[in-house]
Structure 1
Amino acid sequence: MSIVVLVPLLPLIGALIVVAGGSDSLHKRAKLAVYFLGAAFIGSALTLWHVATEGPITIRFYDPESLASLVFPMGFYIDRLSAVMMTLISCVGMIVYTYSVGNMFQDYNARRYLSLMAFTVFVLLCMVSSANIMMLFIFWQLLSYLLYILAHNHSHGPTLAGAFRTYTLLRVGDVAFLTGIVLAYQLYGTLEFGTLFERAAETSVLLAPLPGIEISGATAVTLFLLIGGLCKSANFPFHIWLPSSLFAPTPMHALLHAGIINAGGFLINRLAPLFGMSPTVLHLAFAIGLITVIVGGLMMLRQNDIKRKLGYSTIGQMGYMIMECGLGAFALAVFHLIAHGFFKGSVFLYCGNVIHDARKHPGMPHVGHSDKPREFSFLTWFTGLFTTLLIPLVILLAIHDVLDMPLLESQGLMIFLFFIWITSTQAILSLTRIQGVASWKVSASMISVWFFIIFIYLFLAETFTAFLYPDPAEVEFYLQAAALPDWLFSTIVVAVSLVIITTWSYMYISAKGGSIRVPGWIKSFKVRLYTLSMNRFYIEKMYEGLGRVFSRVLNRIVGHDKGWSK
């Protein structure tokens, strides 16, 4: 099965075809490159089938025991996780590239852009199929350079500033990632995935970064790796690079939001055995993911630009992905990034059509047209309350506090039930905005969506988890490592319940023409929260302030050195 090496190379061949030749035949060469990306997708799908039936594929061009003999340790290790990611990347890459051929053909630098898009697909395929962590890192940091170059129009001031901010923050993550690799090699003496996991499990190393503080070697390594993943996946507080990059062409963002930004979730899954040895890092990932979900959602609601709204939406979704990893539900995180990849890729491509039509027709969107609000329906309201609060709450409380279940079934089932609850609530609340449709149809849609989401998550809990992680003991190990204290889980359930109760109560009272009297401190908090979200929580200004302080300190150091040399 060594022919699998050709799968990542096909997009590279397409990129070379686009670069070769003059501008007259560029459109024909770009169309020809589409076939190479399509062949990569077919090859990835066949690889997925082969790996699922025959087992992982390992191809090495070096001796794992003598990495010093090779500066660039090339090789491929394709298991089910890699094959799934390759299929996602090649499929989305093919669709986005095909769209880009028509979208960018009149651009002055179309040849550079199209060749770099195909090269990015090549880099992504090599990254997810890397045989060792060093090869993964090399392609990982190549993505940082590519995101800077793919900003495209560097003659535009805001575009250049956003590209530089993107590059700077991603390099911070790359440095943290490299630090984790160096530390892992120092502690365990290998960069091979399988050997690294075995030695980490067998070796108990304690580090003392500060007097009186000791942490395990696995915790120290995964902490640095987590920072690298958080940067690439635009999680708090490293998320500001993503909105800054939105001046780039829309097709590039379709590929970014569908593939590149999922790198953090892939990294944690690829190194899952190592992360499973550090409950502390998993809990930190859960906390940061939760903060990112809240911050990203609040900032998204305050945007009036279509691309910025989608960008902050992606930040929130990446928070969900990291939060799922922090709960030990690694397969759920992979399914989330797959679903988000296809969804956000298609949404950004459609967003490009909307922007194009708005430029051709300045009157869009049509002003003055509004649907008449539908009369309040108690049936719709009660169905929403029943499916988003009463039933999920009874099930959660029964399983968590009443039924005596084994740890694996209890912890894993609780995680999947919790995300069923959150996902179905979001979908059902959005259905209440449907206008001009009979109430019983809306209620039926709510119930159908509820059952559909339950089916999808049960499929995840059984089939997809068993596909990615066939060993039940391994799944149990991750869930045990990430298990939350009972009091924390109960607090989260109570908080979510209060939010849902408040939402449905507000909708009921508003529909009846009433008003809610709230204390003054709540009104003040609401205004402050609105102001904070409008100003993106002043996080960007904080970074700018830190940058100025750092520049002043650096200038003083440089000036002191010059004075000393004199």
Structure 2
Amino acid sequence: MVWLIAVPLLPLLTVLLIAAGDRAQEEQHVRLGALPIVAAFLGSIATLGLVSADGPLTIRLYDPTALAGFTLPLGFHIDRLSAVMMALISLVSTIIYLYSSRYMYQDRHYRRYMGLIAFTTFVLLCMVSSANLLMLFVFWQILSWLLFLLAHNHAHAATLEGACKTFWFLRVGDVAFLAGIALASSLYGTIEFQELFARAAAAPVALAFLPGLDIDGATAVALLIFFGGMSKSAQFPIHVWLPSSLYAPTPVHALLHAGIINAGGFLMNRLAPLYGLSPTALHVAFVIGTLTAILGATMMLTQNDIKKTLGFSTIGQMGYMIMECGLGAFSLAVFHLIAHGIFKATVFLNCGNVIHKARQEPSFPHPAREEEDRPFSPLTWSTGFFTTLFLPLVILLGTHGILRIPLLESQGTVIFLFFIWVTSSQAILSLTRIHEVASWKVSLAMLMTLVLVLFTYLFAAERFTHFLYPNPDEVAGYFKAAALPGRLFDLMVVGMTSLTILGWVYLYARAHGRTIRMPMWVESLFATLYVLFMNRLYVDVIYAKLGQALLHVASRFERLAAGRRG
């Protein structure tokens, strides 16, 4: 199956075709360059079918060679996870390449841009099919450089500043990632995935973290590598590079938000057996992911720019994905990754059309018409209210309330029910904005939404989980390692239920022309929070002040050193 090597390498042929053409032939060569990318997509589909039928494939480019006591094995390891990611990346890249060939054709650096898109596709395909941690890190590192280059218009001051910020913030995560690889090699003597997992499980190692406080070796490695994933997937508080990079062309962001920023979720899935050995690392991922999901979604609601709104939406969704990994639902995170990648790619491409049209037509978007008073529909409100409260009752009462099923034994089921509830509630609440059709149709749409989300997640729970992780004991081990205390999980459900009820009460009161009376200090607090989130919690300002302080300290040390030399 040596031909599989050609699949991730095919986009390189596109780069060569584009580079070979001159200015007069660039359009023809760009169109011709689409063929290898389309071929890569077809090859990824064939690879997915082959791996599904015959199992994982490992291809070595050459045998491990000792270099200063360190081994550098090069090759590809393609399992079902790699094959799924290759199919997603090649599909999205094909759409973006074809779209960009028309969207960017009048740009001065058209050839360079199209070549970078193809090269980024090559790097992504090689990264997800890497045979070991070091090879994965090399392509991970190249992606950080490519994000700087893909900013494209470096002559624009804000674009260049955002590209530099992106580059340096990703460097922070890359340093932690490299430290994790070095520690894994030192502790277990290998960076090959399967050997690393086997040795970490067979021989636990304790490290002296602080006097009297030890840390498990697998936990230390997992946390360092997770920090690397945090930077690439824009997790709080290392998320500030993503809003600053939004000056890049919208097709770049379609590829970024569909492929590159998902790298953290892929990384945790690739190292799932290692994270399954470390409940601490999973709990840290859960906390960071939850915090990022909440803050990202909240900051999104306060933005008034279409690209910033989509950017913070992605930050929230990436937090949601890391949260799923932190709960042990690795297959659900991949399912989320695929759905969000395809959705956000198409949204960003359409965003480019909207921005382009707005520049051509000053009156676009057209002034909103004054909304007429719309009658309140008790049927729609009641359907939405009871539908969104149905699943919390199932979770709390059905699983370990009335039936007394221990949470640890039903962890997977409860987690999937939890995400079904959150996702369906968001969709159902948005349906209340539909007033142009009969209320019974809206109510029916709410019920169908619940059923659709329920069956979609059940598919992810059963079929997709079995596809990616065929061993049920392995899946159960992940859920057990990530298990939360029963009271803490109940508290989460109760808190979310309370917020949902408050949302429906607010909709009811507003429809009847009533207001919820609040003390002045509460209204003042809301106004302060709005300004705080609109300004992104001032994290950018804090980092800028911290950077200035570090530069000041460094300059003082430099002057002292110069004085001593003098």
TM range (shorter): over 0.9
Match of 1:463 in 2: 463
Contact 1:374 1:436 in 2 (8 A): no
Separation of aligned partners in 1, 2:155 and 2:102: 23
Q: Which stretch of structure 1 is more off in the superposition, 360-369 or 482-491?
A: 360-369
Separation of aligned partners in 2, 1:200 and 1:109: 48
Match of 2:21 in 1: 21
Asked if 1:224 corresponds to 2:224, the answer is yes
Match of 1:563 in 2: 563
Structure 2: runs of 5 or more not aligned: none
Asked if 1:321 corresponds to 2:321, the answer is yes
Match of 2:523 in 1: 523
Match of 1:165 in 2: 165
Contact 1:396 1:414 in 2 (8 A): no
Match of 1:145 in 2: 145
Can you list the C-alpha shifts for 1:322-373, whole angstroms capped at 9, x where unaligned? 0000000000000000000000000000001111111111110111424434
Separation of aligned partners in 2, 1:65 and 1:485: 47
Contact 1:80 1:468 in 2 (8 A): yes
Match of 1:203 in 2: 203
Query: CA distance change for structure 1 residues 50 and 429 in 2, over 3 Å: closer, same or farther?
Result: same
Q: CA deviation at 1:68?
A: 6.1
Match of 2:79 in 1: 79
Match of 1:543 in 2: 543
Match of 2:486 in 1: 486
Contact 2:408 2:483 in 1 (8 A): no
Can you list the C-alpha shifts for 1:47-96, whole angstroms capped at 9, x where unaligned? 00000001111101233485769985320000000000000000000000
Can you list the C-alpha shifts for 1:204-239, whole angstroms capped at 9, x where unaligned? 211112222211001111111010001000010010
Match of 1:441 in 2: 441
Query: CA distance change for structure 1 residues 487 and 404 in 2, over 3 Å: closer, same or farther?
Result: closer
Separation of aligned partners in 1, 2:99 and 2:182: 41
Count of residues paired in the alignment? 566
1:148-297 correspondence runs (5 A)? 148-297=148-297
Can you list the C-alpha shifts for 1:481-509, whole angstroms capped at 9, x where unaligned? 00001111011011101100100001001
Q: Under a length normalisation based on structure 2, what TM-score does the superposition of the two structures give? A: 0.98
Contact 1:251 1:349 in 2 (8 A): yes
Can you list the C-alpha shifts for 1:379-421, whole angstroms capped at 9, x where unaligned? 0000000111144324433213222447675100000000000
Contact 1:321 1:336 in 2 (8 A): yes
Match of 1:305 in 2: 305
Q: AA paired with 1:267?
A: L
Can you list the C-alpha shifts for 1:143-166, whole angstroms capped at 9, x where unaligned? 000000110010100000000000
Contact 1:67 1:73 in 2 (8 A): no
Separation of aligned partners in 1, 2:376 and 2:143: 51
Can you list the C-alpha shifts for 1:420-443, whole angstroms capped at 9, x where unaligned? 000000000111111211100100
Contact 2:396 2:490 in 1 (8 A): no
Query: CA distance change for structure 1 residues 115 and 70 in 2, over 3 Å: closer, same or farther?
Result: farther
Alpha carbon RMSD of aligned pairs, Å?
1.4
Q: AA paired with 2:488?
A: L
Contact 2:151 2:160 in 1 (8 A): yes
Separation of aligned partners in 1, 2:486 and 2:368: 52
Contact 2:395 2:418 in 1 (8 A): no
Query: CA distance change for structure 1 residues 26 and 216 in 2, over 3 Å: closer, same or farther?
Result: same
Asked if 1:431 corresponds to 2:431, the answer is yes
Separation of aligned partners in 2, 1:276 and 1:116: 37
Match of 1:369 in 2: 369
Separation of aligned partners in 1, 2:125 and 2:465: 23
Q: Under a length normalisation based on structure 1, what TM-score does the superposition of the two structures give? A: 0.98
Q: CA deviation at 1:15?
A: 1.2
Query: CA distance change for structure 1 residues 129 and 299 in 2, over 3 Å: closer, same or farther?
Result: same
Q: Which stretch of structure 1 is more off in the superposition, 68-77 or 361-370?
A: 68-77
Match of 1:58 in 2: 58
Match of 1:10 in 2: 10
Contact 1:396 1:417 in 2 (8 A): no
Q: Which stretch of structure 1 is more off in the superposition, 263-272 or 351-360?
A: 351-360
Q: Which stretch of structure 1 is more off in the superposition, 521-530 or 352-361?
A: 521-530
Q: AA paired with 1:51?
A: V
Q: CA deviation at 1:521?
A: 3.6
Residue aligned with 1:58, SS: strand
Separation of aligned partners in 1, 2:25 and 2:69: 43
Query: CA distance change for structure 1 residues 548 and 69 in 2, over 3 Å: closer, same or farther?
Result: closer
1:407-422 correspondence runs (5 A)? 410-422=410-422
Separation of aligned partners in 2, 1:270 and 1:445: 38
Contact 1:222 1:281 in 2 (8 A): yes
Q: Which stretch of structure 1 is more off in the superposition, 508-517 or 205-214?
A: 205-214
Q: AA paired with 2:166?
A: T
Q: CA deviation at 1:21?
A: 2.0
Q: AA paired with 1:471?
A: N
Separation of aligned partners in 1, 2:161 and 2:364: 30
Q: AA paired with 2:424?
A: S
Query: CA distance change for structure 1 residues 10 and 558 in 2, over 3 Å: closer, same or farther?
Result: same
Match of 1:121 in 2: 121
Q: AA paired with 1:206?
A: A
Residue aligned with 1:402, SS: coil
Match of 2:136 in 1: 136
Residue aligned with 1:214, SS: strand
Q: CA deviation at 1:536?
A: 0.7
Separation of aligned partners in 1, 2:365 and 2:131: 50
Separation of aligned partners in 1, 2:432 and 2:37: 41
Separation of aligned partners in 1, 2:274 and 2:66: 23
Query: CA distance change for structure 1 residues 205 and 71 in 2, over 3 Å: closer, same or farther?
Result: closer
Contact 2:18 2:29 in 1 (8 A): yes
Query: CA distance change for structure 1 residues 94 and 402 in 2, over 3 Å: closer, same or farther?
Result: same
Can you list the C-alpha shifts for 1:165-213, whole angstroms capped at 9, x where unaligned? 0000001010000000000001001010000001111112111122222
Q: CA deviation at 1:17?
A: 0.7
Q: CA deviation at 1:280?
A: 0.7
Q: AA paired with 1:413?
A: T
Residue aligned with 2:62, SS: coil
Structure 1: runs of 5 or more not aligned: none
Match of 2:358 in 1: 358
Q: Which stretch of structure 1 is more off in the superposition, 63-72 or 179-188?
A: 63-72
Q: CA deviation at 1:556?
A: 1.4
Identical residues among aligned pairs (%): 59
Separation of aligned partners in 1, 2:230 and 2:213: 24
Q: AA paired with 2:272?
A: A
Match of 2:473 in 1: 473
Separation of aligned partners in 2, 1:58 and 1:178: 23
